[in-house]
Chain A
C-alpha cells in the first residue's frame, strides 16, 4: 500500500496546476502534473494516481475525449475542472464517467472536499447498512429514515430517490442518472417527476423556509446530497 495518496492534474494552465498542487500537497497528496491529454493518459498508466483532476479545455484533445479513452480501461476517480456556463458539457462529462466537477474559479476548500468524496468510492464500496451524515440517518436494512432522530415517513418513490442520492452522498448525480435509477430507462425525459419528488422530499427532510442544505440543486445538471454540515 502506498502511504500517501497521489493525484494527477491534467491542465494546460501552469498557474492553475501550481495552485492545485499547493492545495493538494497541503492535503497530503503526492502530486503529478500533465499539460496535455496525451501525456495525461500516459501518466495515468505510469503513475496510477488515486484521483485525476481533468481540465475540459485542453490544447491537444478535448477533456471529454481524454475521459472516454481513460474509462475504457481505468475507473480511477475523475474530477472535472471547467468554466462556468457549460452545464451541458458537465453533464456530458458526468455521463461519460466523471465522478464530479468543480467550476473555475474554484474555492480550494470545496475542491478538496470533492477530491475526498471522489476518492471515497475507490476506498470503500460501501456495504454499510446504515448511512449517517449530519442530521440525516438512513437504515437501508429496515428502510427507515430519520432526521435529527425523528422518523420520517416517505413514499416508496421518495425513498428510492433518497437512496439514490445517499448512495452517491457528496457527489453530484445527474437528472438522467436519477430518473433511470428511480423510474427506469423510459422515464429519462420526464424531468418534472424528478423535480416534483425532490420538492416533496425536501419538504419532509429540510428545515422550512431556508435554502436547501441537504439536497442541493446543481442547476442544469442534477442534485447532490450534501455531506458537509456546519
Chain B
C-alpha cells in the first residue's frame, strides 16, 4: 500500500488541506458535546420558511376542501410535515407540525374559525394527527442528522486513509536510502580492519553517497512543496543568460539524465532575461528529471529556449511513452505518479515545477508530440535586454 494512487476517491490537493484533514472538522459540537445537525440554512431563515410553507399549504388545502372534505386535509398536512422533515432542521419541522395542526383545527374542523372541536371523532383525529406530525417531524430530522454524521465520518476516514498512505510513501522514500546508508557504512567498518578490496570500499562509499543524495532530494522536494503552498516564494529577478540557465539545469540533473543525449537549442542572439534564475533553473531541472526517469534507454531529450512577444518559451521534449490521456489532467497534482510505478519518488516533481513557474507569473503545460513522447512548455512573461545594444567588440 505504498502508492498514493491506490487511495479510493479523490485525493486532489483539496483532500489534505488542513480544514478537512481535521477529523469532524465540518461537524460542530454544541455545549453538551453532541454533534448538531448540519447548518444547511441559517436558523431564523428556516423558521420563516416553515411559516411560509404552512401558509402556502393552508391556502392549497382551502382550495381543495370542497373536493375532498376536511378529513383528507389532515393527510395533506402530514405530507407537508414529512417533506419539511427532509429539508429543515428539527425545530422548524416541529413548528410546521404545530402550525399545521392549529391551522387544520382553526380553518377546517367545524366549527370553523375557532380552536373548539365539536365532534369527538374530530378531536380524536386531531390529537392523533398532532402526535403523528410531531413524531414524523422529529424522526426525519434525526435521520437527516445521522446521515450528515455518517458523511462526516466517511470524510474523516478518507482523509485519515490518505494521511496514512502519504505517511507510508514518505517513510518509504526516507527509509530506503537510510537503509542503504546504514548497511553500507556497517559493511565499511566491518571491512576496514582487513582492508583488501579497494573496489569494494569505493562501491560501498558510492552507495552511501547515492543514498544521501536521494534523501537530500526528498527533503528538498518536501520543503519546496511546503514553501510553494505557504506562498512565501517571491521571485528575485536578475538578468540571466537563458542558455547558461538551461545548461546549469542540465548539470544539476546529470545523474538522472544518465548519459542521455541532450540537445540544447537556444538562438545565439537571445536577449538577457530578467528572471529568478534559481526558480526557473529548478523548474527546468524537475522537468529534466521527469523526462530522465520516464524515458527508456538512451532516448534523447531536447531543450529549446526562445524569446517571442514578451515571453520566454522553454520546452523540454522527450521521446518516451508520452502521457496517457487519462493522466494528462492529473499530471501536475502533487503525489500523483504515472502508471509505471517503477520510478519511485514522491510524485512531487511536476507539481513543484508548475508551482515554481506559476510563482513566477508563468505557465507550464504539457502535450504529446507527433511521433511519440511528451513536451513540457514553460511560458514566462519577461523583460529583456538586448546584449548587442551595448558595446560588444573593440
Residues of A within 8 A of B (CB): 84-85, 87, 105, 153-155, 157, 191-200, 209-212, 217, 219-220
- Indicate if B226 sits at the interface (CB-CB under 8 A): no
Given contacts A192-B385, A195-B241, A217-B244, contact A105 B281 (CB under 8 A): no
- Apart from the given pairs A87-B236, A195-B238, A196-B390, 4 other A-B contacts in the complex at a CB distance below 8 Å: A211-B247, A212-B247, A217-B244, A219-B277
- Indicate if B394 sits at the interface (CB-CB under 8 A): yes
The docked-state distance in angstroms from the alpha carbon of A94 to that of B390 is 29
Which chain B positions have C-beta within 8 A of A210? 247
Distance from A84 Cβ to chain B, minimum over Cβ atoms (Å):
8
> Once the chains bind, are B248 and A196 in contact (CB under 8 Å)?
no
Given contacts A154-B394, A191-B238, A219-B277, contact A196 B244 (CB under 8 A): no
Given contacts A155-B393, A157-B391, contact A217 B248 (CB under 8 A): yes
Which chain B positions have C-beta within 8 A of A209? 264
- Indicate if B189 sits at the interface (CB-CB under 8 A): no
Which chain B positions have C-beta within 8 A of A192? 239, 272, 385
- Residue among B216, B251, B272, B281 having the largest count of chain A Cβ atoms under 10 Å: B272
> Once the chains bind, are A195 and B278 in contact (CB under 8 Å)?
no
Residues of B within 8 A of A (CB): 212, 216, 220, 236, 238-241, 244, 247-248, 250-251, 264, 272, 277-278, 281, 385, 387, 390-394
Distance from A72 Cβ to chain B, minimum over Cβ atoms (Å):
31
Which chain A positions have C-beta within 8 A of B385? 192, 195-196
Which chain A positions have C-beta within 8 A of B391? 155, 157
Which chain B positions have C-beta within 8 A of A193? 390
Given contacts A196-B387, A199-B241, A217-B248, contact A87 B392 (CB under 8 A): no
- Residue among A153, A210, A212 having the largest count of chain B Cβ atoms under 10 Å: A212
Distance from A64 Cβ to chain B, minimum over Cβ atoms (Å):
19
Distance from B68 Cβ to chain A, minimum over Cβ atoms (Å):
79
Distance from B189 Cβ to chain A, minimum over Cβ atoms (Å):
14
Distance from B300 Cβ to chain A, minimum over Cβ atoms (Å):
16
Given contacts A217-B244, A220-B277, contact A195 B239 (CB under 8 A): yes
> Once the chains bind, are B277 and A105 in contact (CB under 8 Å)?
no
The docked-state distance in angstroms from the alpha carbon of A211 to that of B244 is 7
Which chain A positions have C-beta within 8 A of B278? 85, 87, 219-220
> Once the chains bind, are A211 and B241 in contact (CB under 8 Å)?
no
Which chain B positions have C-beta within 8 A of A211? 244, 247-248, 250-251
